[in-house]
Amino acid sequence: MSTLTSPAESIDERLDRLVSSRSDSWPPLHSTATAVAIGEIIRRVAGIEDAMHEIALELQKLAPEAEKNI
């Protein structure tokens, strides 16, 4: 799983890095082979899963602090 690269990195930047949503290869061209397009989708879904895990971990770190303020 990829981790935070710098403390100043925003959530949006982390998602872009993990999912590569601004990749030049996405969306696939009509001439892209099906296997290549499916491979890219699998890679992107894995990136989304990694991002979700990172966000969940960050929320877990904040939960005890939030409970103190209740």
User: Of the candidates 15, 24, 6, 7, which has an alpha carbon nearest to the alpha carbon of residue 49?
Assistant: 15
* Spans of all domains in the chain: 11-68
Model pTM? 0.61
Helices and strands counted in the chain (H then E) = 2, 0
Q: Within 10 A of 19 (CB to CB), how many other CB atoms are there?
A: 19
pLDDT in tens, 7-64: 567 777 877 777 765 566 667 778 889 998 898 888 888 888 888 888 888 888 888 7
54 closest CA partner among 7, 9, 14: 14
